[in-house]
Amino acid sequence: MSKILITGGAGFIGSHVADRFISLGHQVFILDDLSTGKKENINPEAEFYNMDIRSRELDWIFKDVKFEVVCHHAAQINLRKSLEDPLLDSEINVSGTMNLLGNCVKHKVSKFIFASTGGALYGEQDYFPADEKHPIRPQSPYGFSKFVIERYLEFCEKSYRTRYLSLRYSNVYGPRQNPEGEAGVVAIFCERFFNKREAIINGDGEQTRDYVYVEDVVEANALALEYKGSGAFNIGTGKETTVNTVFNLLKQKIGTGQKEIHGPPIPGEQIRSVLDYSKAKKILGWEPKFDLNEGIEKTIVFYQQR
């Protein structure tokens, strides 16, 4: 049994990871400032700290608990906000993560699992799907922040022997995803369809994404916990799906009559994004189990019950 700190553990992905780690018998501690996370997502068996990752008070928590693993999911994830306020994006995603890493080094945390990104790191791809050797070409401050932290993680491993796994997620979807932001079209479309509100497709809707179900992402975190080495791994499905396809699939399954409504494209948004997960399969033993049709059906049930 390990003592594990999960940042962003009241949020979409982090709360699912916390549930899984607790079910595996680990002692889980959640750090979240509830700016986007929700109290109802917090597993009652976890100890909760209502705190920002930038807080200097983290030192006494690390000193008191003596974590063995940090699983870092807290972040500013809004692409548009990162373009409008790159300083805030950097303060949270870079300075906040550096605060965590500094405490990991100081208090001898043995492993750091980082929720990184695939699409925002690789930018417009040279080939499809992109593997981990693809050139890094972020097109937003958000993507740059993930790139910077991955370099810091390499430094910490070489200098302080802090093992790390950078899990480069594709577009994660599923229950508990926040439908109020701009990230996560599955959640946004579900919420709007069920509440009879217009769902706007950014641009022509032909931009593609690699949609991976949250339970598959949780499995990747569980395998990362057991892995003895370090490195970066793509966590995706290797399949491209257009936003228009997702819109129409949800429209059909929910039974709404809304027509496609297109708005302006988001500056910096990629045209195509899809990840090669063969490295994760070979080394971690991970591969996606849920196809888009099954994952969307499970997601619809969640938003229908809400």
CA 52, CA 63: separation in Å to the nearest integer? Answer: 17
Q: What are phi and psi of 257, to 5 degrees?
A: -100, 10
Residues 129 and 83 occupy one common structural domain: yes
Residues 265 and 148 occupy one common structural domain: no
The pLDDT tens digits of the residues spanning 247-296 come to 999 999 999 999 999 999 987 678 999 999 999 999 999 999 999 999 99
Residue 112: strand pairing partners: 70, 164
Contact, 235 vs 277, CB < 8 A?
A: yes
| 3-state SS class at 99 | helix
Q: To the nearest whole number, what is the mean pLDDT of the chain? A: 96
Residues 28 and 159 occupy one common structural domain: yes
Residues 118 and 192 occupy one common structural domain: no
Structural domain boundaries enclosing 165: 3-173+211-236
Residue 228 has what pLDDT? 97
| Helices 292-305 & 243-254 angle (0-180, nearest 10) | 50
Residues 97 and 202 occupy one common structural domain: no
| Structural domain count, the chain | 2
Let me know if 264 is exposed, middle or buried by CB neighbors in 10 A (0-12, 13-18, 19+): exposed
CA 180, CA 143: separation in Å to the nearest integer? Answer: 21
| H or E element in which residue 149 lies | helix 141-160
Residues 136 and 190 occupy one common structural domain: no
Is residue 142 part of the annotated active site? The answer reads: yes
Residues 120 and 252 occupy one common structural domain: no
What is the pLDDT confidence band of residue 182, given thresholds at 50, 70 and 90? low
Residues 219 and 267 occupy one common structural domain: no
* Residue in 241, 271, 12, 16 with CA at minimum distance from that of residue 119: 271
Given 49, 122, 142, 211, the catalytic residue = 142
* Residue in 236, 7, 223, 16 with CA at minimum distance from that of residue 121: 236
Is 177's pLDDT higher than 70? yes
The pLDDT tens digits of the residues spanning 219-248 come to 999 999 999 999 999 999 999 999 999 999
What is the pLDDT confidence band of residue 181, given thresholds at 50, 70 and 90? low
